[in-house]
Amino acid sequence: MTAASSMLSLHHVTRRFGGLVAVNDLSMHVQANAIHGLIGPNGAGKSTAFDLISGLTPLSGGSIQFDGADLTRASVEQRVRAGICRTFQTPRLFEKMTALDVVMCGRHLHGRTGILGSMFSVMSKHRDEVNIRRAAIELLDFVGLSDEKDDVVANMPYGKRRLVEIARALATGPKMLLLDEVASGLNPVETAAVSSLIRRLQEQGMTIVLVEHDMRFVMDLCGQITVLNFGTKIASGTPAEVSSNQHVIEAYLGHPRPVGRSRRDQRRAILAPGTDSTDQMEHEQ
């Protein structure tokens, strides 16, 4: 894939924290309308890469282009307006608010151009509360929370809070969503719901980059995958290409295993995702 055909391009991006290089000379290209995976063992630099793309932390070196514009030095707000929005590894929500209020808040960061046409055109053309509310209700419906819109976030199960976070991100009208461990902590039913939601977003034209330790989830959804280890890209390609890449296998095998998982199970999870029920690689919040 070339930089020219990409929605998002990172060129030699580096982030240092004192002596630690969290992201080291990372170049990657995400095609428009792709579902692109960013994987790697704990501490590989995945969330830091998201922080750099979304503007939460400054680059130590390199550059970032998005949708034809150079965003290397843009603020978080400028990136949201350009069409980048993210969710966090641990959902960051105002827990005392209702799901509807949370999503309506997302509207205040609404970018100039949205992907989910009808919903967001309503949001951008009409500034009044009634229409914002109506659009937020449509978004909650879209993510499968039409019955929970008036529920207080703190009282919602974890999987539903994840969906609220996605709906809030969608309310900003993004062209690209960055999803950090969106399936972490979810049961199989909730994971399937999130997976189906991501596919529906892609059908509507969204570009998605996802970080996830659940290999079945990643391999099933993603067309292209970039693999980080200790901040450095060690592989990129299709799920089949990266799962048979020797550097990737060694990176995962060299990593501490989750309790109860044999070395053979861990290798099988990378090589043949979806063939066993222990595909969830070790991760910590």
Ligand X SMILES: Nc1ncnc2c1ncn2[C@@H]1O[C@H](COP(=O)(O)OP(=O)(O)OP(=O)(O)O)[C@@H](O)[C@H]1O
In this complex, which beta carbon is closest to ligand X, that of residue 53 or of residue 143? 53
Please give the backbone phi and psi of residue 123, each rounded to the nearest 5 degrees, phi first: -65, -40
CB 71 within 8 A of CB 64: yes
> What is the pairing mode between strands 224-229 and 61-66?
unpaired
- From the list 236, 157, 224, 166, the residue with the least C-alpha distance to 196 is 166
Query: Is position 42 an interface residue for ligand X (rule: CB under 6 A)?
Result: yes
Question: What's the CA gap between 63 and 263, in Å, rounded?
Answer: 38
Exactly one of 37, 40, 111, 174 binds ligand X (CB under 6 A); which one? 40
Exactly one of 25, 27, 43, 247 binds ligand X (CB under 6 A); which one? 43
Question: What's the CA gap between 245 and 38, in Å, rounded?
Answer: 15
> What is the pairing mode between strands 69-70 and 61-66?
antiparallel
In this complex, which beta carbon is closest to ligand X, that of residue 256 or of residue 260? 256
Query: Tokens 């692109």 — which residue?
Result: 36
Minimum gap (Å) between residue 213 Cβ and ligand X: 7
Minimum gap (Å) between residue 24 Cβ and Mg ion: 16
Minimum gap (Å) between residue 97 Cβ and ligand X: 26
Query: Is position 44 an interface residue for ligand X (rule: CB under 6 A)?
Result: yes
Structure tokens at 170: 């969608």
In this complex, which beta carbon is closest to ligand X, that of residue 43 or of residue 159? 43
Structure tokens at 19: 């002596």
Q: Which does 40 bind (CB under 5 to 8 A by kind): ligand X, Mg ion, none?
A: ligand X
Q: What are the b/e assignments for 140-154, b being 16+ CB within 10 Å?
A: bebbbbeebbebebe
In this complex, which beta carbon is closest to Mg ion, that of residue 144 or of residue 185? 185
Query: Is position 89 an interface residue for ligand X (rule: CB under 6 A)?
Result: yes
Query: Is position 48 an interface residue for ligand X (rule: CB under 6 A)?
Result: yes
Q: Tell me the number of residues near ligand X by CB under 6 A.
A: 14
Query: Using CB under 5 A as the criterion, which residues of the chain lie in contact with Mg ion when the complex forms?
Result: 46-47, 89
Query: Using CB under 6 A as the criterion, which residues of the chain lie in contact with ligand X when the complex forms?
Result: 17, 20, 22, 40, 42-48, 89, 283-284
